Amino acid sequence: MSKIGPEDFDEEELIRSEFESIVSGLSLDESAPTTYLDELDAFEDHNRFIPPNPPGQSPRAFFRSVKNAIRRWFNSGYRDDDGATL
């Protein structure tokens, strides 16, 4: 019997055998109705941002809402922070 030494080591054969072991575990079944990319597209379409569409206001109602917002802002008191609280 002959011993296997480092000079008999075939790196290409090792790579080939590793590749074949990986590929043998893969399934080439393409019977799925959708692909991963189709699922991503559907997810993005379903969860996209839809901006609100507030109803139109008359100029008088708009001026009144601006006046009330400014009044609430002035009457809110002095705050030492930026107003964001948790």
pLDDT at residue 44 greater than cutoff 70 = no
Neighbours of 80 (CB within 10 A): 4
Average pLDDT over residues 37-50: 74
pLDDT at residue 66 greater than cutoff 90 = yes
Q: Confidence class of residue 31 from pLDDT cuts 50, 70 and 90? A: low
The pTM (predicted TM-score) of the whole model is: 0.33
pLDDT value at position 67? 95
pLDDT value at position 43? 72
* C-alpha distance from residue 22 to each of 17, 27, 50, 76 (Å): 9, 11, 45, 67
- In contact, 40 and 48? CB cutoff 8 Å: no
pLDDT at residue 63 greater than cutoff 90 = yes
